Structure 1
Amino acid sequence: MDNSAVQRVKQRYGIVGNCEALNRAIEIALKIAPVDLSVLVVGENGVGKESFPRIIHDHSLRKNKKYFAVNCGAIPEGTIDSELFGHEKGAFTGAVDQREGYFAAANGGTLFLDEVGELPLQTQARLLRVLETGEYIRVGSSEVRKTDVRIVAATNVNMEKAIAEGKFREDLYYRLNTVSIAVPALRERGDDAALLFRKFALDMSEKYKMPAVRLTPEAQRMLVSYSWPGNVRQLKNLAENMSVTAEEREITPEVLSRYLPSESHSKQIVMVGEPAKDTHSFEAEREILYQILFDLRREVNELKRYVSEQRNGSDHAAADCVAKPNSLILEDQDHTVKFAEDGAQDLAYWEAEEVKDDEPAKPADGNVPAAETDTGKAKMPQSLDDLERDMIKRALDMSNGRRKVAADQLGISERTLYRKIKEYGLE
């Protein structure tokens, strides 16, 4: 293609640079413009992808029709279908009136879908149908409508990776990617960074009537060698910032270094190797918390199984469970099990013999146990709850109602003791 046509496009759309990859992208845009095919513009954030859909539209047969640019990543997932395809009155909460979407408004023209990789899968299916047949249905309607729209899409997403992860439809990708235009990153454009800096500095000088900042040769080399993760957008911000705040109008490497962020080499997704000693690792904390939760759940399940076996066991198993009342099972707030020692010298052991229905069990030392009824007959507790209640009552009696002392004797917290007292009606 004639190089003069590329230069005219650069002047018209304010594109600065002589990079071969940039010139090639403009040539492709001019060649594909008259042909009604879908175009996918790919490149990093801030490289200027939004200029190419405008170039394509203005040099196409649709140049006298409408042009709409839609940022798909800025529209909430719940309303993206309504924005693109329209909706009927009452189709959803808040739909107080009928609305036509961008596909209807741009009929006959060009629709630029920026950040198309952010579209939900359901919307991707609707978009695929429009690209294949030109048909769409409004939200809340059953009427099929027709539209004649040329789609130019742009994305900074690695589409092959998104397809492999199931985040983007492969068939839609090939529909959009009939022709692909790759916009180079600023770090790949060589001396274009210095040309762009000069342009932005002159723009600020003309707009605000101030002397323009200039780079020394050493500062230019430093500027060109920088990685520019934010691309042209970052360079523009830098030039505008320096135009306003720099005391000197001639920018040396020392001055430039104060404005350039430190080079970042930590673009990897997964950290390799051990973190530095002073680095705070939230991933490690999360793993520890997960392990604690898993261990806690296992212990609670074991406790439930143990209690169930004790309560549903045979009479002989229940008698064995309470044979030594100095070991008491109590549930604490953190769902762990504590064994409280209650002073073996103050408690009588129940005999490990089978108790007859009409004869109370006798302690080994011959003393009458505290659980004696009004008739003078002692009855062995029939469950762990009964045993627990008796032990708490006994500890309160021994401490003259002082709950803190009783809690210390039982080996549980005061909060747990208060809850147990209320649960068993021991107020």
Structure 2
Amino acid sequence: MDLIAVKQRFGIIGSSEAMDRALEIALRVAPTDLSVLVTGESGVGKEFFPQVIHAYSARKHNKYIAVNCGAIPEGTIDSELFGHEKGSFTGATESRKGYFEEADGGTIFLDEVAELPHSTQVRLLRVLQTGEFIRVGSSKTQKTNVRVVAATNINLQTAIKEGRFREDLYYRLNTVPIYVPALRERKEDIYTLFRKFASDVAIQYRMPPITLDAQARTMLENYYWRGNIRQLKNVAEQISAIEESRVITAEVLKKYLPDDGSQTTVPVYVGGQHAQSGDFERELLYKMLFDMRTEMSDIKGMLHELLSGRSTPEQAERIAGFLQAANIIPASQEQTQAPNYAESEEVTEPEKELTKEEVLRNAIVKALRKHNGRRKEAAKDLFISERTLYRKIKELGINEY
């Protein structure tokens, strides 16, 4: 089958050997009904593979349902997947079909499958073994004919050893494994992807696209890309929106790349599997520090323009508005131009030392405010699952954002 046609159909960009190999496996297994387990780091594009498998299978005219297992609360996930009967729990005012019943004859994609509770894992194993399930609150066994494709960025073998995932379920799901390479493993695709994202932004906002000079391109291709394609797209969009010059140098690009990509706390891959090298709190603390460094760099540049008097009145007003929004200078309804910092008194206040919990709380609140309380988008920004975010919100007592 023509891989180029498949890539064009699903918007998959790149020509690396590792990505082509993953696509070839997906296309070969598509005509069968075998279960598939897609593994890879967060942000590599695992969600494309179940779509490819479904589209080139005999089930393509039936339903395709994608379920984010990490986004459904533990108390309702059985009902969502397998349905429930009227009166089976508080709020069950009528009977409802679950995803496995709705997808009968089609394909169901279980993203973040490692987030499933143990009780749900048992139910899922039964569906995979016999095609049978029971609605919540019912004693009647029902049949379904569903093809299951699962995905995870967790090392399931480690999760099995820690008692968080059933070994028998792992082997049922992992009938055909597909490993999606991290962005750093397909360096030849990085610049192509960057140009695509920059072009998309330019078209959307009617501006000239940005380009990289030779040194910037080398830096881009040698960066570690912890957040993979999702992070690369974010960087391309930020630079396109913020930088006035359309030719980006290595010095400018460096401002948008946390650290130098060689930090030792990043997740590592061992034998094609994902091994976590730090807990959620540590990862979030690092992300906070990186975000702060980027913000401070931008703020320094703005202050330099104001103090040097190089900015126009319109630019000064815009910069002052940004600094007011960031609570760096006091807001004033009557203020129409930048304040004279040279004549103002320097006031030094003692810095308050934040606890780890306060730093974590601030990071979560900031992400939630950025996305107007939408937890799914906030979780993506923080590189965690929505369920982990929900748990941290409860632990830290975050009520308002």
Fold match by TM threshold 0.5 = yes
Please name the residue that 1:32 is paired with.
Answer: 29
Which residue in the other structure is 2:40 paired with? 43
> Which residue in 1 is equivalent to 2:363?
none
In the other structure, the counterpart of 1:167 is: 164
Measured in 2, the distance between the counterparts of 1:248 and 1:265 equals: 33
**Which among 12, 17, 22 is matched to residue 15 of structure 1?**
12
Rg larger in 1 or in 2? 1
Q: Give deviations 1:9-47, integer Å, cap 9, x for gaps.
A: 111111111111000000000000001100000000000
3-state DSSP of counterpart to 2:200: helix
Match of 1:203 among 183, 200, 203: 200
- 1:83 match: secondary structure: helix
Distance 1:16 1:186 in 2: 12
> How many matched pairs?
273
TM-fit CA distance, 1:60: 0.2
Q: CA deviation at 1:207?
A: 1.6
Distance 1:261 1:179, change over 3 A: same
CA distance in 1, matches of 2:202, 2:38: 33
Kindly provide the CA deviation profile for residues 350-392 of structure 1, in whole angstroms up to 9, marking residues without a partner as x: xxxxxxxxxxxxxxxxxxxxxxxxxxxxxxxxxxxxxxxxxxx
Q: By how many angstroms is 1:141 displaced?
A: 0.2
TM-score normalised by the chain length of structure 2: 0.66
Task: Give 2:177's aligned residue.
Answer: 180
For residues 305-362 of structure 1, the C-alpha deviation after alignment (integer angstroms, 9 at most, x for no partner) is xxxxxxxxxxxxxxxxxxxxxxxxxxxxxxxxxxxxxxxxxxxxxxxxxxxxxxxxxx
Number of the residue aligned with 1:61: 58
Question: Residue 265 of structure 1: CA displacement?
Answer: 2.3
Amino acid of the structure 2 residue aligned with 1:162: A
Instruction: Give the equivalent residue in structure 2 for 1:86.
Output: 83
Q: Give the match for residue 309 of structure 1.
A: none
TM-score by length of 1: 0.62
Separation in 2, partners of 1:161, 1:280: 34
Alignment deviations for residues 33-92 of structure 1 (CA, whole Å, 9 cap, x no partner): 001100000000000000000000000000000000000000000000000000000101
Distance 1:105 1:194 in 2: 41
Deviation digits for residues 272-316 of structure 1 (CA, Å, limit 9, x no counterpart): xxxxxxx99979xxxxxxxxxxxxxxxxxxxxxxxxxxxxxxxxx
CA distance in 2, matches of 1:79, 1:171: 24
| Aligned-partner SS, 2:252 | helix
Q: Which has the higher contact order (CA 8 A, sep 6+)?
A: 2
Deviation at 1:153, TM superposition (A): 0.3
Q: Do residues 246 (structure 1) and 243 (structure 2) align? A: yes
Is structure 2 residue 106 aligned with structure 1 residue 109?
yes
Alignment of 1:220 onto 2:187? no
Residue 95 of structure 1 aligns with an amino acid whose one-letter code is A
2:187 aligns to what SS in structure 1?
coil
- Residue identity in the other structure for 1:116: V
- Distance in 2 (CA, whole Å) between partners of 1:14 and 1:199 is 11
Amino acid at match of 1:88: E
| CA distance in 2: counterparts of 1:71 and 1:145, whole angstroms | 23
Matched, 1:70 2:67: yes
Counterpart of 1:216, as a letter, is D
1:133 pairs, out of 121, 130, 139, with 130
Q: Which amino acid aligns with 1:265?
A: T
- In the aligned structure 1, how far is the partner of 2:51 from the partner of 2:116? 21
Q: Establish whether residue 257 from structure 1 lines up as the match of residue 254 from structure 2.
A: yes
Q: Which amino acid aligns with 1:255?
A: V
Task: Flag as ranges the 4+ runs of structure 1 deviating above 4 A.
Answer: 279-283
Q: Distance in 1 between matches of 2:232 and 2:225?
A: 7
Q: Which amino acid aligns with 2:63?
A: K
* Matched residue type, 1:63: K
Rounded to whole Å, the distance in 2 between the matches of 1:66 and 1:189 is 33
Question: Within 2, Cα distance between the matches of 1:10 and 1:217?
Answer: 28
Partner secondary structure for residue 99 of structure 1 = coil
* Aligned position for 2:383: none
2:344 is matched with none
Q: Tell me which residue corresponds to 1:304.
A: none
1:232 to 219, 229, 232: 229
List runs of 5+ in structure 1 lacking aligned partners: 272-278, 284-427
Query: 1: distance between equivalents of 2:265 and 2:101?
Result: 45
Question: Which runs of structure 2 are paired with 1:376-395 in the superposition (5 Å)?
Answer: none
Q: Does 1:122 align with 2:111?
A: no
DSSP 3-state at the match of 2:237:
helix
Give the secondary-structure state (helix, strand or coil) at the position aligned to 2:23: helix
Whole-angstrom distance in 2 between the partners of 1:265 and 1:254: 23
Distance 2:356 2:101 in 1: 48
Q: Which amino acid aligns with 2:109?
A: F
Shift of 1:195: 0.6
1:104, 1:281 → 2: CA distance? 48
Looking at structure 2, the residues matched to 280 and 83 of structure 1 have their Cα atoms a distance apart, in angstroms, of: 40
User: For residues 249 and 87 of structure 2, what CA distance do their matches in structure 1 show?
Assistant: 63
